[in-house]
Copies of this chain bind each other. A is one copy, B any other.
């Protein structure tokens, strides 16, 4: 089973059921070994990305609290050379950031050619939390979908390949992960009282995600809904999309000029 990008006809209920481990994935160990193979393959594909310096890859990760954004970053890119990976976590904007347009801090973090950039949250917060918590009036956030599409198209025309993943976790699974976090002394610092407030706004967030995914899944920057209740399946599906995309770019190792290849090393 491979993920397909959100399209005009995608059913976007984002119900709890859609977050579950898809039945197509049988044996747990089998998925694990498929994942290991894809993670290794991503490492090889990344070497070509670095060497050819032809494109950048931008991976946008969005999802509710505890949906596994950190886990994806940790696992999916485990075979990659950190030299060519840049993670940017977008939190509450600073005063300086708020004094600019909402894409200013995003643009500054876009990966250069040869790099994989990973956005842990992104400009989509400006149509998600900003909308749900009414941090800006409707006329402001509702104009942003088109601005985002224009911005992403410009990037893709200038060497950036964009993939966007919504980690779709169910309400029940989030509850269990929150409880685990609260009880693990090495994990509970990740917990914020605000996480519970966002949980109470579950449906409002669902509506906001639905609009963002529908309005901003484009041929140049597709959105994928990833069933994220199972961590292994989530990681596998994401790695697979990334690998298919990178492999479709047909990146090659540059050939060294023959006169250099013949150089003698004394």
Contacts and interface: CB of A to CB of B under 8 A. Distances in A.
A26 interface: no
A254 B78 CA distance: 27
A196 to B, nearest CB: 6
Interface residues of A, number: 37
B261 A83 contact: no
A255 B189 CA distance: 7
A263 interface: yes
B83 A120 contact: yes
A187 to B, nearest CB: 9
A86 to B, nearest CB: 7
A182 interface: yes
B82 A186 contact: no
A155 interface: no
Contact of A265 (B82, B179, B266): B179
Interface stretch (A69-77, A144-152, A225-233, A241-249): A69-77
Nearest to A261: B182
A106 interface: no
A178 B265 CA distance: 7
Nearest to A186: B253
A188 interface: yes
A255 to B, nearest CB: 8
A78 B196 CA distance: 33
Contacts of A260: 182, 191, 193
26 contacts: A47-B186, A51-B189, A73-B82, A74-B81, A74-B82, A77-B82, A78-B78, A82-B82, A82-B85, A83-B87, A83-B120, A86-B86, A86-B87, A178-B265, A182-B256, A182-B260, A182-B263, A185-B255, A186-B253, A189-B253, A189-B254, A189-B255, A191-B256, A193-B260, A196-B263, A199-B265
